[in-house]
Amino acid sequence: MDIQSFIGKTPLVELKTFDVPADVRILAKAEFMNPGGSIKDRIVRYIVDDAERRGLIAPGATIVENTSGNTGAAIAMLAATRGYRAVLTMPDKVSKEKQDALRAMGAEVVVCPTSALPDTPDHYVTRARTLHAATPGSFMLNQYDNPLNAEAHFRSTGPEIWDALGDAVTAFVASGSTGGTISGTSRYLKQRKPDVRSVLLDPVGSVYHRYFHEGVVDPGQIAPYFVEGAGEDHLARCMDFSTIDEVLRFSDADAFATCRHLARREGLVCGGTAGANVWGAVQVARSLSGPATVVTVLPDSGGKYLSKIYNADWLTRNGFETGEIRALEPTL
What pLDDT, on a 0 to 100 scale, did the predictor assign at position 96?
A: 84
Distance CA 109, CA 75 (A): 12
Distance CA 310, CA 97 (A): 12
What pLDDT, on a 0 to 100 scale, did the predictor assign at position 119?
A: 83
The amino acid present at 49, given as its one-letter code, is: D
The amino acid present at 225, given as its one-letter code, is: Y
The amino acid present at 42, given as its one-letter code, is: R
Distance CA 279, CA 20 (A): 12
| Candidates 3.40.50.1100, 3.50.50.60, 2.30.30.760, 3.40.50.1110; CATH matching 3-33+156-317 | 3.40.50.1100
Domain boundaries, the chain: 3-33+156-317, 40-140
Which residue from 315, 298, 297 is spatially nearest to 306, judged by alpha carbons? 315
Distance CA 299, CA 154 (A): 16
Phi, psi of 140 (to 5 degrees): -120, 125
The residues pairing with 201 across neighbouring beta strands, listed in sequence order, are: 175, 248
Q: Do domains 3-33+156-317 and 40-140 have the same CATH topology?
A: yes
What 3-state class would DSSP assign to 79? helix
Q: Is the dihedral of CA 62, 68, 69, 71 positive or negative?
A: negative
Are 52 and 18 within 8 A, CB to CB?
no
Distance CA 13, CA 278 (A): 12
All residues at 6 or more sequence positions from 269 whose CB lies less than 8 Å from its CB, including other chains: 262, 263, 301, 302, 303, 310
pLDDT string in tens for the chain (332-residue length): 888 889 999 999 999 999 999 999 999 999 999 999 999 999 999 999 999 999 999 999 999 999 878 999 999 999 999 999 999 999 998 888 889 989 999 999 999 998 898 889 999 989 999 999 999 999 999 999 999 999 999 999 999 999 999 999 999 999 999 999 999 999 999 999 999 999 999 999 999 999 999 999 988 889 999 999 999 989 999 999 999 999 999 999 999 999 999 999 999 999 999 999 999 999 999 999 889 999 999 999 999 899 999 999 999 999 998 754 554 554 44
What 3-state class would DSSP assign to 152? helix
Alpha helices, H only, 166-202 = 180-192
What pLDDT, on a 0 to 100 scale, did the predictor assign at position 324?
A: 47
Phi, psi of 215 (to 5 degrees): 70, 25
What pLDDT, on a 0 to 100 scale, did the predictor assign at position 98?
A: 85
Catalytic option among 9, 16, 40, 308: 40
Architecture (CATH level 2) of domain 40-140 = 3-Layer(aba) Sandwich (3.40)
Are 64 and 46 within 8 A, CB to CB?
no
What pLDDT, on a 0 to 100 scale, did the predictor assign at position 82?
A: 95
The residues pairing with 108 across neighbouring beta strands, listed in sequence order, are: 87
Please indicate whether residue 93 is annotated as part of the active site.
Answer: no
All residues at 6 or more sequence positions from 224 whose CB lies less than 8 Å from its CB, including other chains: 93, 114, 115, 205
The amino acid present at 173, given as its one-letter code, is: V
DSSP 44-75: HHHHHHHHHHTT-S-TTPEEEEE-SSHHHHHH
Q: Is the dihedral of CA 23, 280, 102, 94 positive or negative?
A: negative
DSSP 203-240: ETT-SHHHHHHHS---GGG----S-SSS--SS--TT--
| pTM listed for this prediction | 0.92
